[in-house]
Amino acid sequence: MHVWMLLKSELRRSLGVLGGMALVLALALSLAISTGLAERMLRSSSAQAADDFDLLVGAKGSAVSLLLGTVYLRDEPLSLVPAEALRTLKDSKRVRWYAPIALGDRIGNAAIVGTTKSMVIQGGARNVAEGRVFEAPLEAVAGAESGLKLGDEFLPVHGRVHGAGHAHQGEKFRVVGVMPPTGTPWDRAVMVPIERVWALHGPLHAEHEYHDEHEEHEGHDHHHAEGIPEPLEHWLTEDLSRFPGMSAIVVKPVTVADAYRLRQDFSKMTVLGADGNPVPLMGVFSGEVLVELYAAMGGASEALSFITGLTLVIALAATLVTGVLLGRLRLPTLLQLRVLGAPKRYVALLLWCIVMEVVGMGAVMGVILGWGIAELCAMGLTHQTGIAMSPALSLNELRLFLLTLALGGLCALIPAWAAGRARMN
């Protein structure tokens, strides 16, 4: 009798047991597959989100907080960088473009970022998908996932945590541009002129309110705060010491050598703040900070890999035990085959194929289930962080799949050998 006919018969008789063991193996393999996919996905997506932030300048403190606050727009306590720090970058031949960043407000779930036009268009490397770049203090450019569209008006809410803070009083911002999707947390951000953010938060705030009330009383246009020169970004040519600080400065160096030189210069620099106190600065490469974070995560990743590997070994051992028990349960049938003239190797091959059915089904289901779990993780992380993530199978998963089949084949040899050695009484 052909071995495949016996396999089909055995599969019908023991479908519940074989399917259950295949599911156990699939769950163990899916844990290993999904862990590898999620880790690789997280690393590549977070690194891609930081591509446009070569050099970050901030007040001396935690480089990780600076990275999380500026690149990923997390709620981090960042000390202010005095505006005087921009003087080093003005007309510098080492800089392709630079932009200050002021954080602290939001609209709904979207962070409001006070900045300049250079940040919006990345120094000319990027254009808006709809509308145009802001040209007046009360204009805004919204990210693709911010929930705002052209013509929408809004009042910023002070505080970066959703559900906390209070709305600023005054005229509303109007969205004049929408950015294309970038797959980064900045898709949820709304960029506005930093001049207006300063007017709402900095020392110019009181002057701004007085100026607005006075001009409203006189019937004049009161779009701009007193002490903030026009047109936009004209303040870059003024005395920077009279302007409030910023959360960070994003710098795009011309060359790699320029980047290292600028980081060295800023790391040695101390600038007087608006209160006259010295503020030491630091320059950090976003890529280096990410490498440090990945290294810190390495221990946890290795521990998780060990646990998943151990789980997979246990699942294979359970499959082996199932094969042995199945051989015992089917011993009368196997002995009957021997009576009918079947050689030992035929009986051994039959039981080996039965066990390998379990291993094969479990391995295939494990890869599919592992990819599905990683996809669910990607959806959750994308919703939580704003970073576009998607798992992608690679040679690592193929090697793990083949290794599972190979180990399963070796484990199946034991019950197969025992079945072939069974003696007839």
Q: What is the DSSP secondary-structure string of 94-117?
A: TEEEEEEEEEEEEETTEEEEEE-H
Sequential DSSP letters for 3-32: HHHHHHHHHHHTHHHHHHHHHHHHHHHHHH
Tokens representing 58 are 């901030």
pLDDT at 255: 93
Query: What is the band of 127 on the pLDDT scale with cuts at 50, 70, 90?
Result: very high
Contact (Cβ atoms closer than 8 angstroms) between residue 384 and residue 42:
no
Q: Does 397 score more than 70 pLDDT?
A: yes
**First-to-last C-alpha distance (Å) of the chain:** 23
For residue 363, the one-letter residue type is A
Nearest-angstrom CA–CA distance, 186 and 190: 8
pLDDT tens digits, one per residue of 158-179: 765 545 555 555 678 999 999 9
What are the pLDDT digits (tens) for 359-375?
A: 888 899 999 999 999 99
307-356 pLDDT, tens per residue? 877 888 888 887 777 777 776 666 666 666 555 556 667 777 777 888 88
pLDDT value at 10 more than 80: no
User: Are 227 and 204 a contacting pair, CB within 8 Å?
Assistant: yes
Average pLDDT over residues 110-130: 91
What residue type is 26 in one-letter code? A
Residue appearing with tokens 């509308």: 131
In the structure encoding, which two tokens stand for residue 271, read together?
């600038």
Mean of the per-residue pLDDT values for the chain? 81
pLDDT (tens digit, 9 = 90+) per residue, 183-231?
999 999 999 999 888 887 655 443 444 334 334 433 434 344 444 445 6
